[in-house]
Amino acid sequence: MVSIYSHSNVQIPKLKAPPMTVAFIDLAAQQARLRENLDAAISQVLDQGQYIMGPQVRLLEKQLAEFCGARHCLTCANGTDALQLALMALGIKAGDAVFVPSFTFAATAEVVPFLNATPVFVDCLPDTFNMDPESLKRAIIQAKSVGLRPACVIPVDLFGLPAGYDALLAIAHENDMKLIGDSAQGFGGIYKGKTTGSIADITTTSFFPAKPLGCYGDGGALFTDDEELARLIDSYRVHGKGTHKYYNERIGMNSRLDTLQAAILIEKLAVYGDEIEKRQAVASRYNAGLSNRFETPYVPDGLKSVWAQYTLKTASSAERETLQQRAKDAGIPTVIYYPVPLHMQNAYNAFPVDPTGLAVSEDLAQRVISLPMHPYLEPETQERIVAAVAG
Ligand SMILES: *Cc1c(COP(=O)(O)O)cnc(C)c1O
């Protein structure tokens, strides 16, 4: 065949089939597994017509509480509202210091200034990426020195790994503070025999679609063993209602989980335990393929992650860039959670921090990278990912 370029020395690039793209989180695989049940559950809600606070909402709350061993579960509109409702139930107000990690999603800190309280940023540990108890102690002293009242600690179960609750709860309670576990990424994780949701004074979670237990829209929930807190949360999520819907005891919010999302979550919760095991298998295969090349995730004895993310620590930001490009060339998506710690963001850089600085958070932001992670990731696909990432 005569090429139109045959008269010149132009090199025609060989046409390579583009690499098959891998999903970062494959929600379609899960949907295929559950589709029939989901269709039936959705149809049932449409037939019933109770779109707000229908019977599926209460049923889901009962099942979620049983799943984690909490006495009370209250669903709400999203994980951010869950955090705000928790702070409202605890009476957090102006002059209060709320201790939050800097290496997290913004929602953890965002709700604090909303209630006119002050977020105080705490560093994390270099191995688990979760809140550092020693940094928390320094931040408490700092908060007091600027005239704030230590009121609440919000550790995050980052990337699905439960925070170091024993030490953090001890420090919180010694200082007359309550502890809210932000388990948006970690619901169902195990900490020394307890499931997240039954460990902190209040636990919050999110059902955003990409979270380990996600719905098909926005959703969230709170867990507590405390009867009075549960009553307050129930009131705050429906306009501060009293014993009757149109008696208002306090200034509240409109933050409910739709009946449709509850019906979907009931079906997803039924396979969630199995999915957590599948996530564990995926993480183990990554560990086997990558631990001789990168710092792979550290899970302390007695803890079980639900693997919201599988996050590697590279040696340098330059190595991370190379890795990300190699993966991209092979059709493999990677994401950097999180590129800028909150205390360095324009919105948050004026708030107090651990006075010795947040060196670990700043370092992690330069070096971490998350790989595709979901329960239905096939071993063959993982081999491709490992080969591309290891280079
Ligand atoms: C996703 C997330 C939230 C917020 O949940 P939404 O449902 O998106 O409002 C809060 N904290 C952490 C750590 C999260 O990852």
∠ CA 117-118-122, rounded to 5°: 140
**All structural domains of the chain with their residue ranges:** 29-269, 272-390
Centre of ligand 1 from the C-alpha of residue 277, in Å = 23
Cα dihedral 253, 94, 205, 64, rounded to 10, equals -70
Whole-angstrom Cα distance, residue 185 to residue 272?
A: 14
In sequence order, which residues have a C-beta less than 8 Å from that of residue 354 and are 6 or more positions away?
121, 122, 123, 135, 138, 139, 142
Neighbours of 27 (CB within 10 A): 14
Judging by DSSP bridges, how do beta strands 194-195 and 149-153 pair with one another?
unpaired
Residue with the nearest Cα to atom 2 of ligand 1? 184
Instruction: Assess whether 211 carries a catalytic annotation.
Output: yes
pLDDT in tens, the chain (391 residues): 444 444 555 566 666 666 678 999 999 999 999 999 999 999 999 999 999 999 999 999 999 999 999 999 999 999 999 999 999 999 999 999 999 999 999 999 999 999 999 999 999 999 999 999 999 999 999 999 999 999 999 999 999 999 999 999 999 999 999 999 999 999 999 999 999 999 999 999 999 999 999 999 999 999 999 999 999 999 999 999 998 888 999 999 999 999 999 999 999 999 999 999 999 999 999 999 999 999 999 999 999 999 999 999 999 999 999 999 999 999 999 999 999 999 999 999 999 999 999 999 999 999 999 999 999 999 999 999 999 999 8
Counting ligand 1 atoms within 8 A of each CB, the residue from 130, 156, 185 with the most, and so the one to mutate, is: 185
- Topology of 272-390 in CATH? Aspartate Aminotransferase, domain 1 (3.90.1150)
Q: How far is Cα 354 from Cα 99, in angstroms, rounded to an integer? A: 10
Q: How far does the centroid of ligand 1 lie from the alpha carbon of residue 81, in Å? A: 9
In the reported structure, the alpha carbon of residue 386 is separated from the centroid of ligand 1 by a whole-number distance in angstroms of 28
* CATH code for the part of the protein at 29-269: 3.40.640.10
Which of 144, 178, 211, 304 does the annotation list as catalytic?
211
CB atoms within 10 A of CB 351: 18
- Is the CB of 351 inside a 6 Å radius of any atom of ligand 1? no
Residue of 124, 182, 255 best suited for mutating to test ligand 1, as the one with most atoms within 8 Å of CB:
182
Task: Please tell me if the CB atom of residue 108 comes closer than 6 angstroms to any atom of ligand 1.
Answer: yes
User: What is the phi-psi region of residue 272: left when phi exceeds 0, alpha when psi lies from -120 to 50, beta otherwise?
Assistant: alpha
